[in-house]
Each structure stands twice: as C-alpha cells, then as structure tokens.
Amino acid sequence: MSDELLDLAQSVVDRAQPGEGLEVYVARGTETEVSAYEGEVESLTQADSSGVGIRVVVGEADGAGSQVGFAWAGSLDPDVIAATLADARDNARFATPDPDVVLAVPDGVEAVELDQWDDGVGSTPMEKKIAMAIELERATRAADPRVRQVSSADYSDSRAEVALASTTGISSWRRRTSASLSVDAIVGEGAETQTGGGFSVGRGPSELVPDEAMDDAVLRATRLLGAQKARSAHCTVVFDPRVVSTLLGIIASALSGEAVVKGRSFFAGRIGETIATGGITLVDDPTDARAYGAASHDGEGLACRRNVLIADGVLRMFVYDTVSARRAGAVSTGSAVRGGFAGTPGAGCRALVLSPGTKGHDEILASVGDGLFVQSISGIHSGVNTVSGDFSVGAEGLLIEGGVLAQPVREVTVASTLQRMLQSVVEIGGDLRWLPGAAAGQTLAIADMALSGD
C-alpha cells in the first residue's frame, strides 16, 4: 500500500525540469458517516476521496532568490496531475523572488514509528456502525427524563494515507484511521432548554466508549438547567479540560514561528523571558502515540519531534517549518502543518500538552473557593485576537461557591488578554485528557478574569 502512493508521488517528482524543485503531496482516503434520528438512519455517507498538491520552486535561493508556485486537484487522474503540475509551474513565475523560499531537506532526524492504523475501520460491517449510532441516540434519549431531543447522534470513521516526495530527497509515507461517536442532547424543564454535547474518539470502532459520549452530553446539558445571568465581576475562572484544549490551540498560533517572523505574535522577541506562571511547561510532542495529533512526519516530510515551547514559565522556542525557520535564522523544528492536499505548509503545533499538576477537578474547585467554572466557550473566532492578545468569549458554566459547583450561569462572557491569562494561572489539573485536535487538556484555573453579565 505504501509503495503505490509513494511511487505515484515520486513519479511526479521525476518530471522536474533541470533547476526546478518539486514537492508532491498525494493523499487518499475513505470516509463513512452515519447519522441516527428517532431510531432510524437519517443519513449514511460513504465516500472515497483523493488529491494531489504540488509545489514548484524555481531560481536560486542563495542567488537572486527563488519563487514558489502551488496548485492542487481533488483527483489522482494522470491528466489532472499533469495539468496541476503545469498550473504550479506557471504560478511560480509570478512570485516575488525570495532568498528564504526553499523546500525541506532531510535533516537526519529519525522518524518515530507510530501505529495509527486499526483494521477494524475497514473490516467492521456497515450494519454494526449503523447500530452504534442508533443505539447511542436511543440510550441518550433514555438517559434522563429531561432529555427532550437528540438533535444529532453520529458515528463516523476514516482511513487516510499520505505520501510526500521531493527533488530535495524527501520521501515519507504515513497512514492513519480514526473513528468517533458524537451526540448532542437537548434537555428541558418547563419553558427552559439547555444543550450539551459529548463524544468518544479512537483509532477504530472498538476503542469507542458510547457511554462516555452520552454521559458527557447529558451531564453538560442538565447541569445548566436553571441557568441565569451572573453579576459582572472579576473572579477566578476554572476551565474544563475541553476548553483548555481549545485555549492551548489559541496560544499555539502565537507560538508559530511564521507569526513571529512576520510580526504577528505578541511573543516575538521574548525568548528567554518569563511569560507564564512558574510551573507552566508546554510541550508539543507529536511523537507521543497517545496524542490525537501524533504523527511520524510533518507536512514537509521531516520527522516530527518533541519541542519544549515553555519551560517552567519561560519562553524557550517557537515552532518552525522550513521557510519560516530560514527567515528567522533557525532550523525547522519538524512542525510543518498543512490542511490536506489543498493546503501549503505552515508552522504549527500538533500535539500540545501542558505538564499536568496533581490536583483533580474537585480539589481545584475547593482551592479556588469562589469563582466561575466554564464548561464551554463560544465566539472564539470573533473574540480572540492572537496578534493583540485580546480575549473575550461567551461562556456557559456554573458558579463556584464555597469550593463546590453552585448556580448555573449562561449569557455571560469572560475576558482578559492572553498575555495576562498566562501569567495568572493558579491551578493546573492532574486530570489530563487526550482530546481530538492539536492539544490535550486538563482542568485549569486562571485568576482575575472579567466576568461580564448583568
């Protein structure tokens, strides 16, 4: 399987003209999605997809500068690939010559071997996958008399294979499967309605825990019943692990070397400075097989590696792809990420982990005493600016009174700046959860945030 796709990528690389750099990314995959509603299959989607992304580099980076052009296509048809290569070549002519535009070159770092493939995705009969979705919907409806509606209950899985080859000697291949169950519950009492969502993810269907998805959805919805607005105040906010995973993903965009070299990160020029509370150690480690974003190779085919970004509150490094590293006078940290065959590489994190503390969720609430527990946030796109650091999001959760959860609250915002939040971490939970996305999460308490309500 690996040979076939990698051979295809290499065969396109072999068409490079003299003096031309070529990087060819080919991907192929299958997806299944089952949605259940009222005991029936609402929709069943089955699909294969494939595509190619080609970068062409012309000119001498060390001379007058080089130019890069990109093109992609949602097909591996030979004629389409040929046309895509021609598009990329033509596009390269128009780029501004740039001394930092080069393709990745193998750097000798050995890639870890990760087994991210579960044959169960392919071998599990469709009837079984359908049954999982239908049972999840049924069980969620039955879980609590206050459940009024299950607006979605889905099973989905995918198999994906990626090969990357270049004229600079890059040759990598990786594959992975994933499966997930997710459910959204609507609960009500009287005229009031609240919602909650839950999920379970794994490499294959056998790793999924339907009760985990159901319990999370029902708990998150029911504990908000009776929610009211809260009084505006400054208080300590305790974030749920799922929210913390999102927050780390936001911080990561300011740790991207690309943002730094282009003057779009508030971390620029602060290496070696204390930018977070002591005890904050943030690592991006895609070589850890437990991480959802684990990967053997990055988006340019270099080995992924463990990068310590913040150590005990001190900013240690940024993550780089090849071009941003060259601009910064650094070397790639194996951190190129790309959005599939239609995307070009950029610098980013895949598997962030904040070193866990020792306290659990309840102990953290007890030590905080009074404040706000936030189980979900909204408006991240509109309310968080990773250039200025301004942070303002909608929040749902419960007040913390006397060290325990009390009155549920809704229609409030929590606000601060990312810079201040990093300096105001008062508790880091030991309850680390490996979550889908680019970061794990645990309970985290941040002091002195502005709660805006009435």
Partner 1 sequence: MRSVPRGGRGLGWIGRHGDYDTAVTDTALIDPDVLERVLSTALVGGGDMAEVFAEDAVTSSAMLDDRRVEQLSSGRSRGAGIRVVDGETTGFAHTADLSEAGLLAAARAAAAVARQGGNGVRTVALEPGTSHGRGDRTAPDSVDKARKLELLTRADEAARATGDAITQVQVGVGDGRRRILIANSDGLLAQDEQIRTRFNVTCVANGDTGMQTGYESLARTEGFEVFERYGVEDIARVAGTRALAKLSARPAPSGEVPIVLAGGSGGILFHEACGHGLEADHIVKDASVYTGQVGQLVASPLVTLVDDGTVLGEWGNFAVDDEGCAPARNVLIENGVLTDYMWDWLRARKEGRKSSGNGRRQSYQHLPMVRMTNTYLLAGAEDPEEIVAQTPTGVYVKKLGGGQVNTATGDFVFGTTEAYLIEDGRITEPLRDANLIGNGPEVLRRIDAVATDFDMTPGTCGKAGQSVPVGCGQATLRITGVTLGGTA
**How many other C-beta atoms are found inside a 10 Å radius of the C-beta of residue 130?**
17
Q: Which stretch binds partner 1 (CB under 8 A): 17-25, 39-47, 110-118, 431-439?
A: 39-47
Contacts (CB under 8 A) with partner 1, residues 422-441:
none
Shorter beta-carbon distance to partner 1: residue 112 or 450: 450
The verdict on 216 binding partner 1 (CB under 8 A) reads no
Residues touching partner 1, count (CB under 8 A): 77
Q: What x-and-dash track marks residues 361-380 binding partner 1 by CB under 8 A?
A: -----------------xx-
CB of 429 to partner 1, least distance (A): 25
Q: Which stretch binds partner 1 (CB under 8 A): 19-27, 76-84, 175-183, 280-288?
A: 76-84
Binding partner 1 (rule: CB under 8 A), the pick from 149, 158, 167, 367 is 149
The verdict on 389 binding partner 1 (CB under 8 A) reads yes
Contacts (CB under 8 A) with partner 1, residues 256-275:
262-264, 266
Q: Which stretch binds partner 1 (CB under 8 A): 1-9, 110-118, 157-165, 188-196?
A: 188-196
Binding partner 1 (rule: CB under 8 A), the pick from 68, 133, 354, 444 is 68
The verdict on 383 binding partner 1 (CB under 8 A) reads yes
The verdict on 278 binding partner 1 (CB under 8 A) reads no
The verdict on 228 binding partner 1 (CB under 8 A) reads no
Contacts (CB under 8 A) with partner 1, residues 291-330:
none
The verdict on 131 binding partner 1 (CB under 8 A) reads no
Q: Which stretch binds partner 1 (CB under 8 A): 47-55, 105-113, 137-145, 201-209?
A: 47-55
CA 219 from centre of chain: 24
**How many other C-beta atoms are found inside a 10 Å radius of the C-beta of residue 227?**
18
Are the beta carbons of 291 and 176 closer than 8 angstroms?
no
Shorter beta-carbon distance to partner 1: residue 173 or 391: 391
Q: Which stretch binds partner 1 (CB under 8 A): 64-72, 133-141, 275-283, 311-319?
A: 64-72
Q: Which stretch binds partner 1 (CB under 8 A): 12-20, 241-249, 293-301, 445-453?
A: 445-453
CB of 66 to partner 1, least distance (A): 12
Binding partner 1 (rule: CB under 8 A), the pick from 116, 274, 355, 385 is 385
Binding partner 1 (rule: CB under 8 A), the pick from 2, 3, 19, 46 is 46
Shorter beta-carbon distance to partner 1: residue 274 or 344: 344
The verdict on 382 binding partner 1 (CB under 8 A) reads yes
- Burial (CB count <10 Å: 0-12, 13-18, 19+), residue 236: buried
Binding partner 1 (rule: CB under 8 A), the pick from 10, 20, 83, 306 is 83
The verdict on 43 binding partner 1 (CB under 8 A) reads yes
HEC profile for the chain?
A: CHHHHHHHHHHHHCCCCCCEEEEEEEEEEEEEEEEEECCEEEEEEEEEEEEEEEEEEEEECCCCEEEEEEEEECCCCHHHHHHHHHHHHHHHCCCCCECCCCCCCCCCCCCCCCCCCCCHHHHCCHHHHHHHHHHHHHHHHHCCCCEEEEEEEEEEEEEEEEEEEECCCCEEEEEEEEEEEEEEEEEEECCEEEEEEEEEEECCHHHCCHHHHHHHHHHHHHCCCCCECCCCEEEEEEECHHHHHHHHHHHHHHCEHHHHHCCCCCCCCCCCCECCCCCCCEEECCCCCCCCCCCCECCCCCECCCEEEEECCEECCCECCHHHHHHHCCCCCCCEECCHHHCCCEECCCCEEECCCCECHHHHHHHHCCEEEEEEEECHHHHECCCCCEEEEEEEEEEEECCEEEEEEEEEEEEEEHHHHHHCEEEEECCCECCCCCECECCEEEEEEEEECC
Shorter beta-carbon distance to partner 1: residue 28 or 305: 28
The verdict on 148 binding partner 1 (CB under 8 A) reads yes
What whole-number distance in Å separates Cα of residue 304 and Cα of residue 327?
Answer: 20
CB of 96 to partner 1, least distance (A): 4
Binding partner 1 (rule: CB under 8 A), the pick from 116, 171, 344, 424 is 344
